[in-house]
Chains A and B, each alone.
Chain A
Amino acid sequence: MIATEKKVFARTPVLFPQITHYCPGCGHGIVHRLVAEALEHYGVQQRAVCVAPVGCSVLAYKYIAVDAVEAAHGRAPAVATGLKRARPDLFVFTYQGDGDLAAIGTAEIIHAANRGENISVVFVNNAVYGMTGGQMAPTTLLGQKTTTTPQGRSEVNEGPPVKVCELLASMDAPSYVARVTVNKPAAVRKARQAIITAFGRQVSGKGFSLVEVLSPCPTYWRLPPPKAMEAVENWMMKTFPLGVFKNKEAADAKIAQS
């Protein structure tokens, strides 16, 4: 008998060999890897530009090995619009958190989506403002305690959490809008597929795509990482169901068939 060894899981070269500043168990690291693998999948890393947000992932460009520009808080979709209109041959994606995209950047994401900008948006939703120390986010769940909702988020005072995928899916222009999670390996593989699908829309010039990734924040949920992953499923997903909310290509195919 001879034994042959094959490497079946390798770290993609589109990630710098660099430890990240993210907390242990933070979902950002997983999403960074999926983004890097999707860029590698299409071979676009050499013409890609990442628009980095303000938030925990402000230093995303230290980890994802592509050109990058930092945007003002919330303005990443506008910066991406400027980049893509100026250089349509570049692969332009934004990487944003829930404060960046759904609070201060609400206008920019809605209008970039509405214009059907041929960009890809990776939206990491962990229901809290991590970088600034755990304040309420637009996606904070009802009853969730944060430093600015010490009694728990109340519908009467703060309103319910904002559901970005549902909001954007109501528009005509977006090509692909999906919500996934990375709380267990099977989910990570589905998330990878969704990001690859989304990036594929830009590569084939099919317009705007957004993937919302439900992600844990062990630090501000005050849970150890494995428990935080469980909480994504048995707590976060109750408010934010997974699914594909808009898929223009599938819809077009259906129409073509009928």
Chain B
Amino acid sequence: MSRIEIAAELCKACELCISVCPNECIEQSDTLNRYGVFPMRMRADARCTACTLCATICPDTAIEVYRTVEEKAPAEKAATESEQAAVSSELPSPAAQVSSNQEAAS
């Protein structure tokens, strides 16, 4: 899952990040930082999409964003590709499909 990291010692709890997050991913922590601020943090159950809106608006550049991209593993990828090739070889070519449809219609 994509995520953000908020540097607790840089955050001033201005809440701008909360105001721009489209997925309500951010909440206020209950641990004081050394400046007497309860900094922001990503919710444990956050569904972050790494849109970076929070990091863009943060006046303290306290947020870094990590995007997780799910990719198929190489073996999986090859298996899927050969599956797809097998399936498509069974189907008539699109051109052939059209002419057989036309034949059926007439």
Contacts and interface: CB of A to CB of B under 8 A. Distances in A.
A contacting B, Cβ–Cβ less than 8 Å: yes
B67 A8 contact: yes
B60 interface: yes
A43 B72 CA distance: 37
Nearest to A26: B59
Contact of B20 (A15, A29, A185): A185
Contacts of A27: 59
Contacts, number: 97
B28 interface: no
A21 to B, nearest CB: 10
Size category of the binding interface on chain A: 35 or more
Contacts of B9: 19
B15 interface: yes
Contacts of B60: 19-20, 29
A224 interface: yes
A36 to B, nearest CB: 9
A75 interface: no
Nearest to B12: A24
B20 to A, nearest CB: 6
B15 A226 contact: yes
A20 B9 CA distance: 11
Contacts of A26: 59
A137 to B, nearest CB: 20
Contacts of A224: 15
B73 A9 contact: no
B70 A7 contact: no
Which of A8, A12, A182, A224 has the most B CB atoms < 10 Å from its CB?
A8
B64 A11 contact: yes
Contact of B16 (A1, A6, A225): A225
Contacts of A218: 14
B42 interface: no
B72 A1 contact: yes
Given A1-B73, A19-B35, A26-B59, A7 B66 contact: yes
7 contacts: A7-B66, A19-B10, A24-B13, A24-B59, A25-B16, A225-B16, A226-B18
Interface of B: 9-10, 12-16, 18-20, 35, 50, 52-53, 55-61, 63-73, 76
